[in-house]
Amino acid sequence: MAKTYMTGWGMRGERTARGGKNGVQCAAQSYDGSIIVSNYYTEDEKGNEVLKVRVGTNDGSSCYTGWNSNDFNGTFEEFKNFLKLYQEIKNGTVSVVRHRQKKEGK
């Protein structure tokens, strides 16, 4: 049985791919850019399995995995909390304020 798997849909129907503990990676691509998603299992300091998620972007239709963009990299639970926070910011229930830091000498 596969430890991880992915499913995609397109003009030719649904496709699936199985992955092991090392996970799966997929990219939704266009000529303007790509969104790259991967998930895999790792162990925490206590030896427990933890599902990790990584989401990044790339310019152009490349699934290059250099992760040169600002990306999310964390546990599945952290990713769900990240999406929840994004929705709360979008709805206006949470606001984010950035403070400017004074540069030395100015």
Cα–Cα distance between 10 and 18 in angstroms, integer?
Answer: 18
User: In the chain, how many H helices and how many E strands?
Assistant: 1, 6
pLDDT in tens, 61-101: 666 655 556 678 888 899 888 888 888 888 888 776 666 66
Is 104 domain-assigned? no
- For 87, the domain range is 4-91
101 occurs within a structural domain: no
Round to whole Å and give the CA distance between 41 and 55.
15
Residue 99 lies in a domain: no
Number of domains forming the structure of the chain? 1
> What's the pLDDT score for residue 99?
60
Q: Is residue 100 part of a domain?
A: no
pTM: 0.68
Average pLDDT, the chain: 81
Contact yes or no for 19/13 (Cβ under 8 A): no
30 domain residue, yes or no: yes
Per-residue pLDDT tens digits for 6-57: 888 889 999 998 988 788 888 888 888 888 888 888 888 999 988 888 888 8
